[in-house]
Chains A and B, each alone.
Chain A
């Protein structure tokens, strides 16, 4: 299986009160369990089932994904800046395997 790689784009500096946009992408095939491979065998279901974002340990955003979400799940969401800190991004695959990323943000 191709290597799963998470990518996140957060601006490094932001001012207090500003609503910033966070872009995330994880390279994952999101096998729906319905597709067949070249030999006619069904590819078993393997999707990213949940995505959670925490800021300084506090949950900010959470998303449940179903097989209808496209491969390489791309998610953009807003965030209101209050203080400097660290974002933690956690993707959970079927079977419980976790992929993580983290980003720091300073106050301008």
Chain B
């Protein structure tokens, strides 16, 4: 009985091992998107087009305690007419396994441009919102979110 007990790993240690093993298997460092991948993704999307100085209102928490559910709110001033409206909004993150988070396609029927959703953040990272206007111009906003407990693990 005693011999058996000796073989057991203390619970606390086991938990530590388990957590670190999970963390490393979930997010091997080389698989994260990283700023370079995001920069090349942005270059892909914009395809060399110009950036305009349109303001994007981006609201995210400065510190997210839980990376599994992080609220993101964005709004862009736009008349949303046939000629002048926001066509597409990309949400990108540079510390997640892949840079793309979501892509929103807006239409003039919406009357305003903005959306709210919740996203996963695997670690402290930058979140970038990239908007494409109907006239081909782009606008960009980014914010840094500090994450205490990473998400993406599900």
Contacts and interface: CB of A to CB of B under 8 A. Distances in A.
A68 B26 contact: no
B63 to A, nearest CB: 17
Contacts of B102: 63-66, 68-69
Interface residues of B, number: 36
Interface of B is mostly: mixed
Nearest to B22: A36
B110 interface: yes
A27 to B, nearest CB: 13
Interface in A49-87: 55, 58-80, 82
Interface stretch (B2-10, B129-137, B146-154): B146-154
A43 interface: yes
Contacts of B151: 70
B154 A78 contact: no
A70 B120 contact: yes
A62 B105 contact: yes
Contacts of B105: 61-64
B25 to A, nearest CB: 7
Interface residues of A, number: 34
A42 to B, nearest CB: 9
Interface in B83-117: 93, 96-98, 100-107, 109-117
Contact of B117 (A75, A78, A80): A75
B107 A61 contact: yes
Given A35-B154, A60-B109, A71-B69, 14 more contacts: A30-B154, A34-B152, A43-B154, A55-B109, A61-B110, A63-B103, A66-B102, A68-B93, A68-B120, A69-B102, A69-B118, A70-B120, A74-B118, A76-B117
8 contacts: A30-B154, A35-B154, A62-B104, A63-B104, A63-B115, A73-B118, A75-B116, A79-B110
Interface of B: 22, 25-27, 68-70, 80, 93, 96-98, 100-107, 109-120, 151-154
Interface of A: 19, 29-32, 34-36, 43, 55, 58-80, 82
